[in-house]
Amino acid sequence: MTEGCLELNYDIPANDFLHAGEASSSVKKMLNQLGVDPDKVKKTAISMYEAEINAVIHADGGAAHIEIWKDKVVIKICDKGPGIPNVELAMQEGYTTAPDHVRDMGFGAGMGLPNMKRYADSLDIDTAVGKGTTVTITVFLK
Amino acid sequence: MKVNEIVKVLEATVITEIDSDGLEIYSACGADLMSDVMAFVKDNVVLLTGLINPQVVRTAEMMDIKVIVFVRGKSPTQEIIDLAIEKGITILTTKYSMFISCGKLYGAGVTGRGVCC
Ligand SMILES: Nc1ncnc2c1ncn2[C@@H]1O[C@H](COP(=O)(O)OP(=O)(O)OP(=O)(O)O)[C@@H](O)[C@H]1O
Ligand SMILES: [Mg+2]
């Protein structure tokens, strides 16, 4: 453990719509236990959940690495999926490549990345076609 | 509006009820796509949806939504019910469609635009 920071790691299983979101749920619980301001917990939980669901529906799952510092939460969601060919396009509200079976599960509004952008204090997307995507979400707690 | 009034207005069936006596609902969000729900950050919201999926409960959990109404007579699965109990979320079902359910709630005074965070 890095000094001054609490680290958490989770697997994000592929194609599991019952358990998808459990990592975000655990992080939310932890932040609440640490007494973090509820609005900040909500911003963090929504952003992480959107990224977690993207890893499930677009990239066959992945992994989550979370660092909770005194003044910020940093969430990295990594996958080895297909990557995002055009990030600027993917960031647009309503843009989605989700197939019908994903829409039937309640996803594919094309609002996940825009929601992350809105709720996170900083959002970084590192992606390479054919290699995978790492989304880094930072929420400041102070 | 209290949860028991929502039950009356929507002639709803209570599937799980978790200590919602003190809860006052000001605003409603009707959607079948969960990211549309998450674009709508307000407090004291009831979520109406035609989607039967555990991710509805997850979405409510992330957003601190305490009441979900499944519309058009759809019944949640046991997995959904168990998750809702674990997360302390009240689940109602109504035979009314999304449109009629929203109209009835609006007509009964759930008109709040909420407070953005
Ligand atoms: N981890 C990822 N790997 C590959 N492609 C991705 C990933 N995350 C997002 N994308 C691409 O970016 C698009 C937009 O993502 P966004 O989260 O905004 O919408 P969505 O997931 O399609 O729908 P919603 O999030 O509203 O349910 C996706 O449809 C997909 O093409
Ligand atoms: Mg998404």
Answer whether residue B115 shows pLDDT above 60.
no
Count how many domains chain A has: 1
Residue of A nearest to B40 (CA): A115
Q: Is residue B73 part of a domain?
A: yes
User: Domain holding A136: CATH number?
Assistant: 3.30.565.10
Q: Is residue A78 part of a domain?
A: yes
Residue A36: CB within 6 Å of ligand 1? no
Q: Give the tens place of pLDDT for each residue, A21-80.
A: 999 999 999 999 999 999 999 999 999 999 999 999 999 999 999 999 999 999 999 999
Query: In this complex, how many residue pairs, one in chain A and one in chain B, have their CB atoms less than 8 Å apart?
Result: 76
- DSSP-derived pairing of the beta strands A122-128 and A72-79: unpaired
Give the Cα separation of A55 and B7 in Å (integer).
Answer: 37
Count how many domains chain B has: 1
Nearest by CB: B55 against A17, A39, A114:
A17
Q: For residues A20 and A71, is the Cβ–Cβ distance under 8 A?
A: no
Q: Is residue A1 part of a domain?
A: no
Residue A59: CB within 6 Å of ligand 1? yes
Domain with B51, as residue range(s), is 3-107
Q: Is residue B114 part of a domain?
A: no
Q: Give the tens place of pLDDT for each residue, A98-139.
A: 999 999 999 999 999 999 999 999 999 999 999 999 999 999
A131 touching chain B per CB within 8 A = no
Give the pLDDT band of residue B109 (cuts 50, 70, 90): very high
Say which ligand is closest to the CA of B38. 1
Q: For residues B24 and B43, is the Cβ–Cβ distance under 8 A?
A: no
CA A128 vs CA A50, A131, B61: distances in Å: 20, 5, 32
